[in-house]
């Protein structure tokens, strides 16, 4: 379990630049929003989930996540067919805040182009640089808001 500047970013996961994490099990990829996303967004109040059996392309917006601060996009980290959604989030979207890597998972994709898609995600040492760059953006936005 890697902790980067106070954010829990598990080593075994892959990360998309738009804040989704991907847990690969064979060709099935479980997707959620990572710890930095859920901490910076604050309380998640609503999740607009995609439909099962929907095909998605890597980088495609397939849902929305609303917090008390703003509305964010859920982006597919890999291409394939959505085979499962976490219906519990419709009743309790705060599961993302409570357990973003466990009960707060969002969907499962049966990947169609896994090897190529994984090459474009952050994994291992590249996650540190990704988090550092994202935090620079967050800090700049906070400074700008104070002006």
Q: Is the distance from CB of 13 to CB of 1 less than 8 angstroms?
A: no
Q: Which helix (H) or strand (E) holds 139?
A: helix 126-146
Task: Determine whether domain 2-146 maps to CATH 3.30.300.30.
Answer: no
- CB distance 45 to 19 below 8 Å: no
Q: Are 79 and 56 in contact (CB under 8 A)?
A: yes
Closest CA to 54 of 19, 80, 73: 80
At 144 the pLDDT is 87
Q: Where are the domains of the chain?
A: 2-146
Mean pLDDT per segment of 10 residues, for the chain of length 147 residues? 88 96 98 95 95 97 94 96 97 97 98 96 94 89 85
């Amino acid at each position: 379990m890697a902790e980067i500047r106070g954010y829990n970013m598990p080593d075994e996961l892959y990360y998309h630049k738009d804040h989704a994490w991907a847990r690969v099990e064979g060709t099935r990829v479980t997707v959620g929003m990572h710890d930095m996303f859920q901490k910076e967004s604050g309380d998640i109040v609503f999740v607009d989930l995609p439909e099962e059996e929907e095909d998605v392309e890597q980088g495609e917006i397939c849902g929305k996540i609303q917090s008390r601060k703003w509305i964010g996009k859920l982006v597919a980290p890999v291409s394939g067919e959505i085979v499962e959604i976490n219906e519990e989030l419709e009743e309790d979207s705060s599961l993302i805040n409570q357990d973003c890597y466990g009960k707060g998972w969002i969907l499962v994709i049966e990947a169609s182009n896994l090897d190529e898609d994984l090459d474009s995600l952050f994994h291992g040492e590249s996650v540190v640089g990704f988090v550092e760059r994202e935090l620079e953006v967050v800090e700049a936005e906070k400074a700008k808001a104070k002006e």
